[in-house]
Structure 1
Amino acid sequence: MSEASVIHDIGYQRYEGPRLGRGAVFNSLYVHGLRAAYGFGRSAKAKIFPWLVFGIVSLVAVILAAVRAQTGLLPLNYIQFADAMSWLIIFFVAIVAPELVSRDMRAGVLPLYFSRPLRAADYVGAKVAAMVTAVWALLAVPQFIMFLGAAFTAKNGMSDVWKELGDLLPAWGYSLLWALLFTSIGLLIASLTGKRAFAAGGIVAVFLMTTPVVGVLSILRSTDAQELAGLASPMTLVSGVGQWLVPDANTGLFIGRFGPVYLIEAITLIAGCLLLLLARYRKVASL
């Protein structure tokens, strides 16, 4: 019996459209990361925690705006508001950071990512940008709610509104510093393990372990030690920078003449964490 070869046309065609390249990949990762931070495109269970945190922070902002409208008193200014929400930010970062990077490691998709025209720097940049945006929005939107409350109850018209805007914009910059510092630390820790529970626990532990050090240093007799105590924890580090750049912020942290030291450490810590994160993924990409 003779055998005959048969060619079956199953409809495969070569792609002849535009090749979007690294920029489109970066943008896709950024959008996906930002959506994932707030649970979009995922189950209802994944939306509970981020939106619960967002709801609590926004509710506090609404209450502050209502109190100010009724009494004329300002319980917290914009910068103090960011400081007051610090622990909620930490828990938000502890949940979101593992979702953005640990999940990819556990699913084993990193070799697939890096087989495309995507570099380690693109991957890290997209993840950092997505998380910075998510954390910044967590503070900036409630701060804007506070601004609207003050603007609509202004007694002196546009002069009060412009003054309020002059207070809001530095606070948005302050919130961006919060987002950059906490994102860099959170993503670096999360990148070390594919298990989200371990990553979340590690992020919270870093902040829990550094906070008591500030308390110990602040009770020393040395004035310099007290003013430098805030350098020991990321939370008080950000407060120190805010107090130096915006003296009227009243963050409650006494930094004396060491404001530039706080800023230098903050920049160094952010840059160091991002460089280590990049080195981590360059190693993965080379495997």
Structure 2
Amino acid sequence: MPADIVPTQAAPVEPSGGVIHDIGYQRYEGPRLGRGYAARSLYVHSLRAAFGLGRSAKSKIFPWLVVALVFMIATVAVAVRGQSGTALLGYLQFTDTVSMPTLLFLAVVAPELVSRDLRAHVLPLYFSRPLSRSDYALTKLGAMTTAAWLLLASPQLLMFIGGVFSRKDGMSGLLDELHDFGQGVSYAAIAAVAFSALAVLLASLSSRRAVAAAVIAGVYLVTAPVAVVLATLGGAIGKVSPVINPVTLIEGLERWLYGRNTGVDIGDYGVVYLAVAVVLLVAYVALLLARYRKVAA
């Protein structure tokens, strides 16, 4: 190598890889609230959604119209009793009187609770948490049942308060009023469970709220005339046929449990009404759970 040629040193090469920056992410070390908390949160959210709470004003219109209607009926009953001293509407009779608005409430609200989630494809998000498929289905059913029971029982509380102040027979009258009120809210619970289980099951079959609402309403409306026609046949068939329709089924059960003449002739088949109601409820819940086991996650 010539003496005047000096070798040069190669320039350093910059690394081509990325650089890791610490932007403050930390591991969560707080309490894990778990499955129960998730189920309770979903229950509260669903119950609020049933009455449009936390949603747009449009979502509140129909539920609160129904609430206003049932309270108006209760208010009229209280006013008439206060003026005349005679009960226009009993606690047990109240649930039967408002059964149609209640069914419309279920037909609209049940699809809001379950069909919306199917259409928005958010179930995988729910199931990615500790919440199981069964938890989701039972929580939605519980929220719908609670909403229906509140719709039926809250106006009866108003009737109870009015009835207490209308009575003139002291403590014995208060106890009688409390007994009647207890029967009314317990029957409201039976109706809420029976109606809600079927409504949520039917709503879970479609992601379109309008279709689900039509199916729910259709089942109640179509089975009613069938039960009426079969009742004209008389005999055992005529006395058992009301079990076909959910409304006449619980009215027959009401007559057997509470002894009120509901217009449904059950003869000596009260136990059959109870057995059918229990079997149908178990079937509705089992089918609902099976439905959500097959939903894509």
TM range (shorter): over 0.9
The ranges of structure 1 where at least 4 consecutive aligned residues each deviate by more than 4 angstroms after the TM superposition are: none
Decide which of 39, 56, 64 is 1:43's aligned counterpart. 56
Which has the higher Rg, Structure 1 or Structure 2?
2
CA contact (8 A) 1:237 1:266 kept: yes
Q: Distance in 2 between the 1:132 and 1:121 partners?
A: 16
Further displaced range: 46-55 or 166-175? 166-175
Q: Distance in 2 between the 1:61 and 1:223 partners?
A: 37
Residue identity opposite 1:34 in structure 2: L
> Which residue of structure 2 lines up, in the alignment, with residue 238 of structure 1?
250
> Which residue of structure 2 lines up, in the alignment, with residue 225 of structure 1?
237
> Which residue of structure 2 lines up, in the alignment, with residue 183 of structure 1?
196
1:283, distance to aligned residue in structure 2 (A):
1.6
Q: Distance in 2 between the 1:170 and 1:55 partners?
A: 23
Decide which of 278, 283, 286 is 2:289's aligned counterpart. 278
The yes-or-no answer on 1:83 pairing with 2:83 is: no
Q: Give the alignment's Cα RMSD to 1 decimal.
A: 1.2
The correspondence of residues 123-142 of structure 1 with structure 2, limited to 5 A, is: 123-142=136-155
Paired residues in the alignment total 284
Gaps of 5+ in 1: none
1:250, distance to aligned residue in structure 2 (A):
2.2
Deviations 1:155-189 (A, max 9, x none): 01221111011011122111111111111101111
CA contact (8 A) 1:33 1:130 kept: yes
Gaps of 5+ in 2: 1-12
Q: Distance in 2 between the 1:86 and 1:115 partners?
A: 38
CA contact (8 A) 2:144 2:196 kept: yes
The TM-score with structure 2 as length reference comes to 0.93
CA contact (8 A) 1:83 1:239 kept: yes
1:2, distance to aligned residue in structure 2 (A):
2.1
Residue identity opposite 1:228 in structure 2: V
> Which residue of structure 2 lines up, in the alignment, with residue 260 of structure 1?
271
Residue identity opposite 1:264 in structure 2: A
Q: Distance in 2 between the 1:66 and 1:92 partners?
A: 26
Q: Distance in 2 between the 1:231 and 1:37 partners?
A: 28
- Paired residue secondary structure (2:295): helix
CA contact (8 A) 1:79 1:251 kept: no
- Paired residue secondary structure (1:284): coil
